Amino acid sequence: MKGGLERCEKRLRSIINRTGMRRLRLPSHNCHYIQYNSNRPIAFFITNMRILIISDIHANLTALEAVLSDAGEVDATLCLGDLVGYGPDPNECVTLVRQLPNLECLLGNHDAAALGQIDVDNFNPDARTAIQWTRQTLTQESQKFLQNLPETIVREDVTLVHGSPRQPVWEYLLDTRTATLNFEYFDTPYCFVGHTHLPALFYLPDERVGAHLIIPEPSMQLSMAPRAILNPGSVGQPRDRNPMASYAIYTVEQNLWEFQRVSYDIAAVQARMQIAGLPSRHIQRLSAGW
């Protein structure tokens, strides 16, 4: 019995460490009490903890608001980088993201470029124009938030990076060959990535065979099994020919990953981009989803 209580306590502590939640403020619908006997302390145990996974918001506030409303109540949020770049609402997106409870957030390549940490020569001319506009528009407060973001986060079963475990900010995980190599660069059962703007799951059933790729249908639910690399797609600029904002819900206890899509008012975002003088190619691509 002692072992059971210890395991329960250990699990609870790791959840608290991971989420920053305090014991007395656990959402009541997500916890229950386990009492081993009257002399022992009561352990709180969270079941079905729902975690929102978002990436590549790219300063698209309308898409971000649609995702948050569609996702409903969640216990924590993981944001995999590129809060800014391309879109018209960099400060509004930073302000909204940083208010999300139990947030873990990474630095993306566009965030780094907007902070001047990366030479804009690495970007194509349109992306460069958008980055320069973003640099001029970001408030000091937004810059401060972005400056403090890490490139990698490891929490219990999951490694979080923007690009890939091998090159956290830059590398694109687009094919099984690159994914296979990258399984050697993290130790946890799972790795969550963004950067490609394409929802995907790479899994490694056998190291001799290499990684497999699943490209999900919208609303596809997957039971996660080690080891896997998962990408929730992009909130603010999807590139899989589906213009709807993309995100995922990870239900921890059940190891369940749900890919989700939600429509938003694309024309309103395009109108704000026009007013800001952002490149027309970036304005058009939102309605085509590429």
User: Interface residues for Zn ion in 33-62 (CB under 5 A)?
Assistant: 56
Q: Which of 185, 225, 181, 184 is nearest to 201 (CA)?
A: 225
The residue sitting closest to Zn ion, measured at its beta carbon, is 82
User: Interface residues for Zn ion in 54-113 (CB under 5 A)?
Assistant: 56, 82
Q: How far apart are the first and last CA of the chain?
A: 55
Nearer to Zn ion, 195 or 227 (CB): 195
Mask for 120-159, x = binds Zn ion (CB under 5 A) = ----------------------------------------
Q: For 51, list phi and psi in degrees, rounded to 5.
A: -115, 130
Does 240 bind Zn ion (CB under 5 A)? Our answer is no
Tell me the closest approach of the beta carbon of residue 37 to Zn ion, in angstroms.
Answer: 53
Tell me the closest approach of the beta carbon of residue 206 to Zn ion, in angstroms.
Answer: 31
Nearer to Zn ion, 82 or 89 (CB): 82
> Cα dist. 141→92, 133, 137, 145 in Å?
11, 17, 11, 6
Tell me the closest approach of the beta carbon of residue 108 to Zn ion, in angstroms.
Answer: 6
Dmax (CA) for the chain in angstroms is 68
Nearer to Zn ion, 26 or 57 (CB): 57
How buried is 57 (Cβ within 10 angstroms: 0-12 exposed, 13-18 middle, 19+ buried)? buried
Nearer to Zn ion, 73 or 121 (CB): 121
Please state, in angstroms and rounded to a whole number, the distance separating the CA atoms of residues 228 and 279. Answer: 36
**What is the binding site for Zn ion (CB under 5 A)?**
56, 82
